[in-house]
């Protein structure tokens, strides 16, 4: 299981009502995308590239080609941030 698959697994467990879609790259070294929709709203888009880490887009109107709002180097940090964004209790 790669790091973005770990994030997907964690979020599905924590937010079972969320619609979570993981898109694998067409090329082996391409970016992975994880889209999270909660309560009918697109909440978070996570992009992961093995050599670059995670980019998190959590603005209300994410658009193709936008830069990430936040950048993380490891899956634990990005999943903790997304957990907070989605209203998880700590």
Mean pLDDT by 10 residues, the chain (90 residues): 97 95 93 91 88 86 73 95 82
**Spacing of C-alpha 18 from chain mean position:** 12
How high is the pLDDT of residue 88?
77
Nearest to 86 by CA among 17, 2, 26: 17
Q: Report the alpha-carbon distance of residue 33 to residue 31 in Å, rounded.
A: 7
Q: Against a cut of 0.85, is the pTM above it?
A: yes
Q: Report the alpha-carbon distance of residue 24 to residue 32 in Å, rounded.
A: 5
Nearest to 25 by CA among 6, 44, 47, 57: 47
């Amino acid at each position: 299981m790669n790091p973005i698959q770990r994030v997907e697994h964690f979020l599905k467990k924590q937010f079972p009502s969320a619609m979570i879609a993981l898109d694998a790259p067409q090329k082996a070294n391409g970016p992975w995308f994880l889209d999270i929709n909660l309560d009918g709203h697109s909440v978070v888009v996570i992009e992961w590239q093995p050599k670059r880490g995670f980019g998190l887009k959590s603005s209300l109107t994410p658009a193709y080609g936008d830069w990430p709002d936040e950048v993380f180097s490891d899956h634990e940090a990005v999943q903790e941030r997304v957990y907070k964004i989605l209203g998880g209790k700590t």
